[in-house]
Amino acid sequence: MALFGKMENLNTPNKENKDMSEVEKVKVLIVGSGPAGYTAAIYAARANLSPVMYEGMQPGGQLTTTTEVENFPGYSDGVTGPEMMEDVKKQAVRFGTDVRFGMATAVDLSQRPFKVTIDGTKEMEAEALIIATGATAKYLGLEDETKYAGSGVSACATCDGFFYRGKDVAVVGGGDTALEEALYLAGLCKKVYLIVRRDVFRASKVMQARAEKAENIEILWKHQTKGLFGDGVVEGATLVKNQGTPEEEEVKIAIDGFFLGIGHKPNSDIFADYIDTNEVGYIKTIPGTAKTNVEGVFACGDVQDDQYRQAVTAAGSGCMAAIDAERFLAEQE
């Protein structure tokens, strides 16, 4: 997994010499990075809002775990996820964004200026807050998921499915997310194994019918993933059928890609006392805007998008958040 370290030579003059007990006041604070956060920073900086960004635990977001990105406009030959995020970060810094390494650990959004604690110690006050903390894909917890990350293991079929055209892949999960992934991959791949832990789906009836109708989707009921194998890349999966019963048996399938379809967890917990979210935790925004229920707080990217979860849509929502923040601040003046 490629993560960026702190790049002080790219940043505007930092404030590391400040007394850590002193509250720092800023006009616009962006928490989180990735295509949404960095794009918000570009637009906010160009609007002379002097944004300060804290990149979070994974600077660059989920794209830093993606090897090739071929569906982002402007990169005709493709680009790696880390390289693309580096490019966007440089652009944000070029216009004056103060990019810092650190994560928000506590907030008080009960009144303006909003109070945000960074790494449990540093206190920030912001006239406008942009939340771009993203979402984290859920994994099974297998060591092989880390071993083959970017080499056959993926949590996004629409991001990486193109690389498995004409090949055999597997999707694990029994809900709508898994079936959506499987159906998307069925249009690209030779065969799709759908690994379902139980003997029933949790997905909607419509999705079930579509998956069962697809000729190249094979549903493996009562199967659980034990591990993956392959020389440097995924070449197959070891499954356990009827685990914990007298009929338990080990099954191996030959695959080139292993896709997680068990959902994502939006990184919104620290905002939950103030910001409206749906039942899963995705931040609710007013349709057509990046505005949350708290005036002056905006959300963009995967922390509020449970439908598309693409780099290009995240970037677009980051643009919206910055413009909404600019207009909000102008109204206050």
Query: Catalytic positions, please?
Result: 156, 159-160
Query: For residue 67, what is the enclosing H or E element?
Result: none
Q: Where is 236: in which H helix or E strand?
A: strand 236-241
Helix or strand (DSSP H, E) at 319: helix 311-332
* Distance of alpha carbon 179 from alpha carbon 127, whole angstroms: 43
User: Which residues neighbour 83 within 8 Å (Cβ) at sequence distance 6 or greater?
Assistant: none
Q: What CA–CA distance (Å, rounded) separates 261 from 94?
A: 38
Cα–Cα distance measured from residue 44 to residue 295, given in angstroms and rounded to the nearest whole number: 17
Q: Give CA–CA dist 234/260, Å, rounded.
A: 14
DSSP for 113-133, written as a single string: SEEEEETTTEEEEEEEEEE--
Q: Are 196 and 220 contacting, i.e. CB atoms less than 8 angstroms apart? A: yes
